């Protein structure tokens, strides 16, 4: 890529980052009760899960934890079996918290993923309301909050939930860029989100 164009994209993303708090605040204004409705429904569905004992999912789960421990111990990707580093990197805060709190690595990871599922349901509501109206947004958010699909992903120590969040973020940024007349800052941010998602799961590489 042309260095000048790359510098331009970097500046555009930096400007967008500075504007994000104002954009987020504008999107949230007047949506408090709907956020409470969707977030509350999602929390009620997950209350029992948040208090349940968790364990590392068999199969690839132990590999992701091994790589995360290697990253935490400064060995970078030692023990990696050709897995992308995005999910192990996301596990590191939970491993650090376990060293401080002693609550159990898997339990902290799964609790964090349950909370991420709640945030995703609320985000779906906000983006849906932004582009298709409040009724559609609330319906989509409630469906994401109470449907059994997300909780299943949340209770697995696999990268699928983080992958879904990355794809959603990229699509939301792309849609925002489209309604803003092809604003390159949003399109560049969308590309960054999709690119980072490819580090979570290789299935995102075509994006």
Q: CA 87: distance to chain centroid?
A: 11
Mean pLDDT of 2-21: 58
Q: How confident is the model at residue 14 (pLDDT cuts 50, 70, 90)?
A: low
pLDDT for position 3: 56
Segment holding 53, helix H or strand E? none
Residue 87 buriedness (CB in 10 A; 0-12 / 13-18 / 19+): buried
pLDDT for position 8: 56
15, 142, 162, 167 from 40: Cα distances, Å: 34, 10, 21, 24
Only one residue has tokens 């906000």, namely: 126
Give the residue among 80, 79, 55 at the shortest CA–CA distance from 199.
80
Question: How confident is the model over 136-186, as pLDDT tens digits?
Answer: 999 999 999 999 999 999 999 999 999 999 999 999 999 999 988 888 889
Residue 192 · residue 155 · CB < 8 Å: no
Q: How confident is the model at residue 10 (pLDDT cuts 50, 70, 90)?
A: low
Give the tokens for residue 134. 């409040």
Give the tokens for residue 107. 């339990």
Give the residue among 112, 69, 61, 60 at the shortest CA–CA distance from 89.
69
Give the tokens for residue 78. 């030692």
Question: How confident is the model over 64-123, as pLDDT tens digits?
Answer: 998 888 888 877 766 566 778 899 999 999 999 888 887 788 888 998 999 999 999 999
Indicate if the pLDDT at residue 4 is higher than 60.
Answer: no
Give the residue among 103, 102, 109, 107 at the shortest CA–CA distance from 87.
109
Give the residue among 9, 4, 15, 30 at the shortest CA–CA distance from 126.
30
pLDDT for position 183: 83
pLDDT for position 166: 95
pLDDT for position 195: 92
Q: How confident is the model at residue 9 (pLDDT cuts 50, 70, 90)?
A: low
pLDDT for position 59: 85
Q: Distance between the two ends of the chain, CA-based, in angstroms? A: 18
Indicate if the pLDDT at residue 27 is higher than 80.
Answer: no
pLDDT for position 87: 93
pLDDT for position 83: 79
Residue 59 · residue 160 · CB < 8 Å: no
Indicate if the pLDDT at residue 20 is higher than 70.
Answer: no
Residues near 200 by Cβ (< 8 Å), separated by ≥ 6? 84, 86, 87, 90, 159, 162, 163, 166
Give the residue among 39, 44, 46, 176 at the shortest CA–CA distance from 121.
39
């Amino acid at each position: 890529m042309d260095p000048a164009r790359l510098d331009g994209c970097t500046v555009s993303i930096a400007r967008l980052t500075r504007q994000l708090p104002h954009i987020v605040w504008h999107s949230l204004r007047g949506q408090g009760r709907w956020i409470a409705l969707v977030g509350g429904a999602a929390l009620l569905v997950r209350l029992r899960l948040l208090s349940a004992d968790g364990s590392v999912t068999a199969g690839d789960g132990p590999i992701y934890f091994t790589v995360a421990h290697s990253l935490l111990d400064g060995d970078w990707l030692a023990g990696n079996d050709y897995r992308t580093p995005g999910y192990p990197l996301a596990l590191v805060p939970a491993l650090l918290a376990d060293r401080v709190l002693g609550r159990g690595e898997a339990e902290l990871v799964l609790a964090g993923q349950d909370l991420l599922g709640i945030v995703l349901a609320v985000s779906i509501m906000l983006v849906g309301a932004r582009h298709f109206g409040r009724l559609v947004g609330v319906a989509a958010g409630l469906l994401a909050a109470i449907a059994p699909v997300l909780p299943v992903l949340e209770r697995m120590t696999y990268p699928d939930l983080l992958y879904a969040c990355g794809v959603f973020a990229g699509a939301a940024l792309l849609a925002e860029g489209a309604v803003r007349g092809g604003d390159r800052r949003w399109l560049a941010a969308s590309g960054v989100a999709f690119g980072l998602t490819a580090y979570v799961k290789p299935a995102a590489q075509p994006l």
